[in-house]
Structure 1
């Protein structure tokens, strides 16, 4: 199977997971046939049709743009099995019943193309048992592909082969999942619940048990086990409500039934409170009640003792919160263990329980410790994996603490730690991750990462503590660096001749020093390099202007002191647009306000699917002032030139309203629909490939004898167009949709983008538009309502609606 091209995917099962897997495939521009049972009434494929329509309503959105649903074809098992022959990958995602799955397999197997890979999205059933009944050929093309929910946003996919799975299907499938669907792939062993759910659900069970022991309420536990602990901010019980308490109970049941010899089996019974909630039909978010219930604007929590819902809002004690802020993991864990505060003792207990469990079971569930850490990071939102935390806190010392607790009878099991934890290569190297790879207890060796060619696209692969891989903050050759910006180049062949600019400020905000550094970057790139890429190893791309950096200028000299700096920022945008080498913005996460403008003025943009772009300055009482309004006016003229029979105002209104209402794209695909990305801009599904794609884009443009655009003039709608837009804004204000100051800001935006007090069709240049934009921006700085918004954002980080 040397060439594996996925032209179309079939998803069997139009439930929550099946439909959302289909959605993510079409996000990646892979068409899908979505199957389900024939409907009893209405269209024969009505079940799938309804599921596809529901995808447009779910929040967070499974689809990167609603109209992508058009690329999912509804089908049913009775009438449409012939469509399976067109599919290169078939993913089964029906309910977790072995008998139901076998029944479906018997029906669909004859219709699956002879070259296609067949996979189950089961969250924990045996892949080997699922393959029983297949002929030898299909068994060789069958494996598990377990997406985590929601599939668009969760990075993890577990790839689970059986002993019969052909080796030559796994590598191309992993490459497809990694690059085309943008996932982090972990190969798991065919054991109950695989890696992520096996460790994650045990961690939940341990948390429930220890919370009961220490008398902690669910809201306090969630505050302790959320962002403060470096985990998903929803914590433990809110996450369970989102996943579905019936789903959690099912996975727990799988562990109870399939792992009778597990040394921790005493804790695999469904906790009494959870069992009662499921019996009562309180399944979490999908039923409106679980561990939490929303009542009006209030969120109530369950009180297990009374069975009633009571006011929530419990938080970590101040002294425990202070411990969790300690940057040194060794000090943090020591303080938790030694504290007499029940909350601290609880946190040490759940960490110890997880450390104990993964050490005992590593050889059973995974090839290496790396797989466990990535599964927990990518599937459960942990900042660092459990083995990483243990290693960072001091391998030998933490192992000693675990042994002491086992001996004292306070651990959840009396199972001793495996010998490899305490002596030999792991103990000698103080951890399971080292420069040569991660520990495999079966082979007794540290094993390097996969060398599949697809990973060559990841210039900096996901890091692991202890691995000592090159850091993107120090790698390559530094050309220039200060507190705000680093200019550097890669050492890799065919990538070393493109200059990379990395903004170092908080949230990659753009202040005077960043402007100076980027102007210097363009000069250097034109002199010595083949292109310039603006990229940062962490999100966001840029949250916009650095208001705090501007505040001293304003306080000392008022709006007049800001105007020269705003003009320099505009000059930077023009330098990027008209540079004599290609300039590329590598976008992931937020590109807001000035960050959006920075991206708009580069030659090309390479954006991760999860890119959220928008001109949001009205939130701080301002208007875009670094070229965003000029961009919208110019793009409207360019779009109108391609459809000369349509009026210019038709194209302009979109850009006016987007800026006036601070619209932000919910994906890179939506940013393209908004005009902030162009058809020539690339959308990358895996954020780890972003730098590679951006550097290659710069080099490809240079190789193709690229030249910057010519400076020219373009038509504007003038005062007549402004009057039309203003009438619409008046209706929005009078209807209560926008405040009076929002109306003032929106009218200012419309005035600038209309080209000022000129006739319709007047030709203007960017200098004219930028001057209008700059005057509008600086003029608002003295407005009392704008000053209220700016101070509110600086002091509280939240927009003021006035």
Structure 2
């Protein structure tokens, strides 16, 4: 294999649900991709692939970072295009889970593979060594298993499984491609049925089904217990089965039943009768719109075992158990569940007990170490913490004692004893600073030393691993400014959801002063996503943390009473200080905060050192405004960016409208600005949020010079490289633009005309129209002639005035209050 082996082109064999989505994610990563399927019997031979590609458009969430990406996928079929495989560096087989079908396909395509081509089977649990037998012996060193999780764009895990002949260097190259190019978390698995994640995850589901039936708990109650309270996805247990597909779950269980006869839990590898019945009826879950759950009108119904039909779903949680589940400390939470006599608490304890028991007995056989098992479950099933992580955080020896008690009392699903390495009295952890425990070698194994992991300065961490985020430059309640080992400063917010407050704005100004005086560049990077959920208006004004507990005579009462005077104070130029002072008496004037925010935006844009916004997750409202004013944005693909202020009856006032107007003027290049302004106006007026960083680029929030990163653990590394590149070119900030052409009153009238049609059609409300009209006024430069030249401050002043006037309106106040009480927008 060449030293600089690069995977340039990939072929995916099989255009089913997984194959098509794997191909879509390869295109997301700008990898040239062919998608193969059987030729159609009539008409276009590629009709089967074309149908699969059309199906991708209908999936939610979308497997495509942008619908435009679909045009880059090259359809192919096995009769006409096998010769194209010679130009591929990687071929991924993703057809149905049948060894005979896969083997036939391998024999058919093997003669067309290039000398250095890697061939990988995307199987969820079939034997890789058995599959390898269908390959010519001379080619087996280039064969391995590669298990993507559904949906491939969003699930972080890929399991990589070698066969006995797989070349180690080949596997390393493939891992580097998966990690950096496709943005995945790779776990090396052993060739055992269902590998690691499905083996453990499916057992956990089976244990949950077993104990729910034994204790007579409804499926909706089980889901209320086993979702976010346990640090797992909202889909919890039975909703997860519906999403995965009951038939798919049945197939994975069958794989365990057919291949694990010696497993001490073997008798439990079977589907309950009710689940078999649903599958026979075609109730397969989300894809058939009926499974464990069914939507009837606007109501969700759940299958009831006693009734043998569906009933209205209810979340009947024991209040005492709910209090236990609110505890964040796993030691206290698990101890309370174990000690409680309440059925729901006992249910949760026995599910954990059996999960710990199963993981302990099988770790040595299915994984190289405890880290691989925990990451596989965490990344493959969306858990916040893996089984061994929870066990360690709850107190290793204490949990060992509880599990042994249950084994001795016959309360566990198997009587198999815990392994000696588990019960070793000197053991208090499986994850440590030295690595994670491996029963096979009886050692703590360090993380992979592949060069690709040098790009992850702060990888996903485990209990026992110290994570020191550099050396502090200065720190306040709202921010921390710090650095690692070079001359680049990093700014991290400390507020909840990285919300932007008046104090945080003060701190950013201080950070910028420090950066310009002593550092080469400044990166805004959060140690945990999101980048920023924006500026919470009430936090900005008075710092209320529990708005939902306020009564009408509290802050809201005072705020709404005082806000009536804004109609007079704004008109007279008096500002909003009376409102805020009447409400709290000690909070900065609103217009002062807006001026400060605008100053921060302009300082970020015109700083003497490059400023980099490293965006991961949400960058909404004020978070978006901060990012778009930085010299560069480096964004993870899964970044959701937008100016959403209209949702609470306001408009962007931290420079967002101004910046988008400037970009439209630059794109117009001296011509008519209105066509270029239209998309920016629509994004802001409708509060549109990008569903990926690629779409953020299409919407104009990312520029051509901004970067997109696939693996969010590489975000800081790429941001640093971008900063260093700017420094190396003797960076100078852009010149202040003093003449910006605007669309003026003609543009305002055009936008209003389009909104009148939407208003009359019932698509927007009168208040939406009022907000949109003010967005139009700002972005068109106000009541001036078309083509008039204005400067940035003119546009900032328009932003500020319209923001304050919108804040004075009753309907805006209703939107703000509704959003804060219900966490969703009100369209009034």
- Specify if TM > 0.5: yes
The aligned counterpart of 2:525 is 535
Matched with 2:101 is 100
Deviations 1:644-690 (A, max 9, x none): 56x21000011111100000000000000000001111100000011
Cα distance in 2, alignment partners of residues 22 and 455 from structure 1: 25
* Cα offsets for 1:354-409 (capped at 9, x unmatched): 10000000011000000010011101011111000000000011011111100000
CA distance in 2, matches of 1:347, 1:80: 53
The alignment status of 1:150 with 2:146, answered yes or no, reads: no
After the TM superposition, which residues 59-74 of structure 1 pair with which residues of structure 2 at under 5 Å, given as runs? 59-74=60-75
Q: What is the alpha-carbon distance in structure 2 between the residues aligned to residue 136 and residue 763 of structure 1?
A: 73
Query: Separation in 2 of the partners of 1:328 and 1:588?
Result: 27
In structure 2, the partner of 1:682 is 707
What's the secondary structure of 1:289's corresponding residue?
A: coil
Q: In 1, distance between residues paired with 2:75 and 2:539? A: 54
Which of 463, 479, 490 is the matching residue for 1:485?
479
- Secondary structure of 1:415's counterpart equals coil
Q: 2:500 and 2:525 mapped to 1: Cα distance?
A: 14
> Do the aligned partners of 1:716 and 1:754 also contact (CA within 8 Å) in 2?
yes
Deviation at residue 306 of structure 1 after TM alignment? 2.8
Question: How do residues 147-186 of structure 1 correspond to structure 2 at under 5 angstroms?
Answer: 147-186=148-187
Looking at structure 2, the residues matched to 526 and 244 of structure 1 have their Cα atoms a distance apart, in angstroms, of 55
Contact 1:156/1:375 (<8 A) preserved: yes
Asked if 1:609 is matched to 2:637, the reply is yes
Contact 2:500 2:540 in 1 (8 A): no
Q: Answer whether contact 2:488 2:523 (CA < 8 A) is retained.
A: yes
1:626 counterpart = 2:623: no
- Look up the match of 2:242: 241
1:396 match: secondary structure: helix
Matched, 1:759 2:760: no
- Contact 2:397 2:427 (8 Å CA) reproduced: no
Q: Give yes or no for contact 2:331–2:393 (8 Å, CA) kept in 1.
A: yes
The aligned counterpart of 2:358 is: 357
CA contact (8 A) 1:85 1:113 kept: yes
1:772 to 770, 793, 798: 798
The reply on whether 1:703 has 2:728 as its aligned counterpart is yes
- Structure 1 unaligned blocks of 5 or more: none
- What is the distance in 2 between the residues matched to 1:41 and 1:325? 59
Where does residue 507 of structure 1 map in the other structure? Answer: 497
Match of residue 621 from structure 2: 593
Query: C-alpha displacement at 1:224, in angstroms?
Result: 0.6
Q: 1:693 aligns with which of 718, 726, 741?
A: 718
The answer to whether the Cα contact below 8 Å between 1:478 and 1:487 also exists between their aligned partners in 2 is: yes
Q: Give, in whole Å, the separation in 1 of the partners of 2:637 and 2:283.
A: 35
Q: 1:548 maps to which residue?
A: 538
Q: Give the secondary-structure state (helix, strand or coil) at the position aligned to 1:428.
A: coil
| CA-to-aligned-CA distance 1:103-126 (integer Å, 9 cap, x gap) | 111111111111110001100000
1:559-578 correspondence runs (5 A): 561-578=589-606
Tell me what 1:440 maps to.
Answer: 438
Paired residue secondary structure (2:589): helix
Name the CA distance, whole Å, in 1 between partners of 2:357 and 2:760. 63
Distance 2:480 2:343 in 1: 45
C-alpha separation between the residues in 2 aligned to 1:746 and 1:182?
Answer: 38
Is the 2:491–2:525 contact (alpha carbons within 8 Å) kept by the matching residues of 1? Answer: yes
- In structure 2, list runs of 5 or more residues that go unmatched: 544-558, 563-576, 581-587
> Would the aligned equivalents of 1:612 and 1:664 in 2 still touch at CA under 8 Å?
yes
Residue in 2 that maps onto 1:345: 346
Q: In structure 2, which of residues 510, 526, 529 is the aligned counterpart of residue 520 of structure 1?
A: 510
Give the Cα separation in 1 of the matches to 2:135 and 2:535: 60
Which portions of structure 1, spanning 4 or more consecutive aligned residues, are displaced by more than 6 angstroms? 553-556
- 1:158-210 alpha-carbon deviations (Å, 9 max, x no partner): 00001110111011110100000000000000000000000000101000000
Once residues 794 and 245 of structure 1 are traced to their aligned partners in structure 2, the CA distance between those partners, rounded to angstroms, is 38
Partner of 2:573: none
SS in 1 for 2:824: coil
- Deviation track 1:474-517 (CA, whole Å, cap 9, x = no partner) reads x21111111110000113xxxx2111110110110101111011
| Contact kept in structure 1, 2:744 and 2:787, CA below 8 Å | yes
| Aligned mates of 2:673, 2:483 — CA distance in 1 | 43
Pick from 664, 667, 692: which aligns with 2:689? 664
Shift of 1:317: 1.4
Structure 2 counterparts to residues 79-228 of structure 1, below 5 A: 79-228=80-229
User: How far does the alpha carbon of each residue in 1:5-41 deviate from its partner, in whole angstroms, 9 at most, with x for none?
Assistant: 1111100000000000001111111121000100112
| d(CA) in 2 for partners of 1:133, 1:607 | 43
In the TM superposition, residue 429 of structure 1 has moved relative to its aligned partner by 4.1
Residue of structure 2 in register with 1:250 after alignment: 251
Between the aligned partners of 2:475 and 2:168, the Cα distance in structure 1 is 47
How far apart, CA to CA, are the structure 2 residues paired with 1:546 and 1:483? 17
Structure-to-structure mapping, 1:396-411, within 5 angstroms = 396-411=397-412
Distance in 1 between the 2:135 and 2:823 partners? 58
Work out whether residues 547 and 794 of structure 1, in 8 Å CA contact, stay in contact via their aligned partners in 2.
no
Would you say the 8 A contact 2:541–2:590 is kept in 1?
no
Is the CA contact (8 Å cut-off) linking 1:230 and 1:384 kept in structure 2? yes
SS of the aligned residue for 2:57 comes to coil
**Partner Cα distance (1:662, 1:41) in 2:** 46
Three-state SS of the structure 1 residue aligned to 2:426 is helix
CA distance in 1, matches of 2:708, 2:101: 38
Partners of 1:373 and 1:115 lie apart in 2 by 33
| Equivalent position SS for 2:541 | helix
Cα deviation for residue 593 of structure 1 reads 0.5
Spell out the pairing of 1:301-340 with structure 2 (5 A cutoff). 301-340=302-341
In 2, distance between residues paired with 1:613 and 1:410? 50
**Which residue is equivalent to 2:814?**
788
Alpha-carbon separation, structure 2, partners of 1:4 and 1:50: 34
* Secondary structure, aligned partner of 2:190: coil
For residues 3-42 of structure 1, what are the structure 2 equivalents within 5 Å? 3-42=4-43
Alpha-carbon distance between aligned partners in 1 of 2:91 and 2:540, rounded to the nearest angstrom: 55
Preserved CA contact (<8 Å) 1:498 1:529: yes
Check whether the contact 1:22–1:32 (CA below 8 A) recurs between aligned residues: yes
TM-score norm. by structure 2 comes to: 0.94
TM-fit CA distance, 1:550: 2.5
Is the CA contact 2:92–2:120 (under 8 Å) kept in the aligned structure 1? Answer: yes
Q: CA deviation at 1:795?
A: 2.5
Whether the 8 Å contact between 1:12 and 1:90 is mirrored in structure 2 is: yes
Q: Does 1:729 align with 2:723?
A: no
SS of residue paired to 1:737:
coil
Provide, for residues 540-590 of structure 1, a one-character-per-residue CA deviation record: whole Å limited to 9, x for no partner: 110111323233397663279211110011000000000010000000111
Question: Is residue 2:583 matched to residue 1:558?
Answer: no
- State the shift of 1:325 in Å: 1.2
Q: Contact 2:613 / 2:627 at 8 angstroms: preserved in 1?
A: yes
TM-score, with structure 1 as normaliser: 0.97
Aligned-pair Cα RMSD in Å = 1.2
Asked if structure 1 preserves the Cα contact closer than 8 Å seen for 2:370 and 2:438, the reply is yes
Deviation at 1:4, TM superposition (A): 2.5
1:56 partner SS: helix
Query: C-alpha separation between the residues in 2 aligned to 1:259 and 1:636?
Result: 63
Distance in 2, Cα, partners of 1:528 & 1:557? 40
Partner of 1:740: 766
